[in-house]
Structure 1
Amino acid sequence: MRREAFTSRRSQRPGGTLWLLSSIARARGAGGRLTLITNMAAGSSSNYWEDLRKQARQLENELDLKLVSFSKLCTSYSHNSAREGRRDRYSSDTTPLLNGSSQDRMFETMAVEIEQLLGRLTGINDKMAEYTNSAGVPSLNAALMHTLQRHRDILQDYTHEFHKTKTNFLAVRERENLLGSVRKDIESYKSGSGVNNRRTELFLKEHEHLRNSDRLIEETISIAMATKENMTSQRGILKSIQSKMNTLASILSERAVLRVPSGRSYLDTIHSANWGSTYFNRQWQYNSHHTSAEPKIALCLSHSINKMSCSD
């Protein structure tokens, strides 16, 4: 009895089944066109749409705050890396990035949270799109589509900003890891505390010596090739000089052979002329005391012989 009374009271209260049927009957009896049902459906639909919009705005606000904090984290990481690079450049001791591991963990945590918020906002937008497609009031579809498009644009902007900031952070971190490994290698090499570093240094010195030896050998070979070329050219010059000397010697020997007889006859002529002049001079001195004409004749003969000898 209590259950039946509770059911009857529940069905008769506003919003119950009997109340809804009686309202429909009264509306039909009055000649209406189910205006009450339409208003109730529109009211429940508007409440659902407003709930979706409220959730979307809440997620957008959370994403905005998360993205601002995420961007500040990435900017501080890049500034710290640049500061540490300058410190390593001008100081002797090298220290890792301050709170590098904590920043990495914070980055991973914030990235996961932002991805989750983006996924939730994407789901809300999908529900809003489904609602606009199944809405029963065509006159409101244009406004609903405009609102939905605005939420989609906001989601796209947040997604683009998140991926851009994340890519920049990963690039900076990768560069810092690479530079950090290079700095560690340089410092470990400069320290020279290990056996491997000593071996590496010896290998590098030996390699440098080999390169110097190779360079000296190449210079020596180039000098030898130049000397060979010069000696070859000098050999040709000496051969030409030798041939010219041989030609000159043959020419001089032929002239000497040709001039030997003429030279002997020339000397014989000179000796004969001198002998003749001496003879006539002595005859003139001898006969000068006997006759006066003979000395003149002898003197003329001696002068003529001397002229002949000089002309020869």
Structure 2
Amino acid sequence: MTDYDSLHRQCRTLESLFDAKLTAYSRVASTISRTQEDVEASGSSERWRDMEVEVEELLEKLGETNDQLSALSEDRENPPSQSMLRAIQRHRDVYQDYVRELRRTKTNVQSAVDQATLLSGVRNDIAAYKSSAADSLLAERGRIDSSHRMVDDTLEQAYETRSEFARQRSSLGTIQTRMLGVLNTVPGINNVLSMIHKRRRRDTFIVGSIIGVCLFLLMVYLWR
């Protein structure tokens, strides 16, 4: 039973490898569910698909080896012993368990991937909405700032106009004060002019009187 021993060892080796690979593959679902990362964007999809292919290939080899063992159990010329038949049946049962376990694990992994993809899409939509909302808020803030600048410019022009009016009013007040001062000094000037005019009239009268007296005295002197 050299063939049996070789196939038996090969089955045990494949079962051990498959069990280790299946355990690692089953962790993919928990890892994806825990991290909730974008499987496609992060490149995780390629890794878990490679693991899935590797596990499926091991299971396929294990199935082929089990088929070869089953063929030995039906050998009429060299029938296997009862212990061999029990070992062959045990390998067949283990293989069937692995088939069911792989199917269940693939379903869990695919569900985790679908959920992660869905959540990633939702997060992307939320991020896009937030980005759009932020852009809208920034644009609105820009318009408000522009309006504020226009109001500030208008107020500044109004303040400058008011200051100019104040300066002009101050200048007009100064001119008005000067004019009032001039007007207040005009009556005094009129009085001075009136006094000068009266003095000239008095001086003219005095000079005329003196001339008249002199002429009278001259005529008296001539007629003596």
TM-score by length of 1: 0.40
Who wins on radius of gyration, i.e. which is larger? 1
What are the within-5 Å matches in structure 2 for residues 36-51 of structure 1? 46-51=1-6
Deviation at 1:144, TM superposition (A): 2.8
Which residue among 91, 102, 118 is the counterpart of 1:178?
118
Are 2:129 and 1:189 aligned? yes
> Displacement, 1:158?
1.5
1:113-132 superposed matches below 5 A: 113-132=54-73
In 2, distance between residues paired with 1:79 and 1:147?
40
Which residue of 2 is the match for residue 62 of structure 1? 17
Does the Cα contact within 8 Å between 1:52 and 1:128 map onto a contact in 2?
yes
* Equivalent residue number for residue 73 of structure 1: 28
Residue-pair matches, total: 137
Secondary structure (helix, strand or coil) at the match of 2:30 reads helix
1:52 aligns with 7
Aligned to 1:104: 45
Q: Which residue is equivalent to 1:151?
A: 91
1:97 Cα deviation from its structure 2 partner? 4.3
SS at match of 1:158: helix
1:57–1:100 Cα change, 3 Å: farther
Change over 3 Å in CA distance of 1:169–1:64 after alignment to 2: same
Question: Displacement, 1:177?
Answer: 1.1
Q: How far has the Cα of 1:58 moved from its partner? A: 0.8
Query: Which residue type is aligned with residue 80 of structure 1?
Result: T
Local SS of the residue matching 1:192 = helix
Larger RCO: Structure 1 or Structure 2 (Cα < 8 Å, ≥ 6 residues apart)? 2
- Rate the CA distance shift 1:65–1:108 in 2: closer, same or farther, 3 A: same
Give the alignment's Cα RMSD to 1 decimal.
2.7
Q: Which runs of 4+ in 1 moved over 6 A?
A: none
Distance 1:122 1:108 in 2: 21
Task: Render the CA deviation track for 1:80-133: whole Å, top value 9, x for unaligned.
Answer: 11xxxxxxxxxxxxxx54896332211101100111111111111111111111
Unaligned runs of 5+ in 1: 1-45, 82-95, 199-312
TM-score of the pair, normalised by structure 2: 0.55
Q: Which amino acid aligns with 2:13?
A: Q
The aligned amino acid for 1:107 is W
> Does structure 1 conserve the Cα–Cα contact (< 8 Å) formed by 2:21 and 2:55?
yes
Decide whether the 8 Å contact of 2:70 with 2:88 is kept in 1: yes
In structure 2, distance between residues paired with 1:129 and 1:152: 8
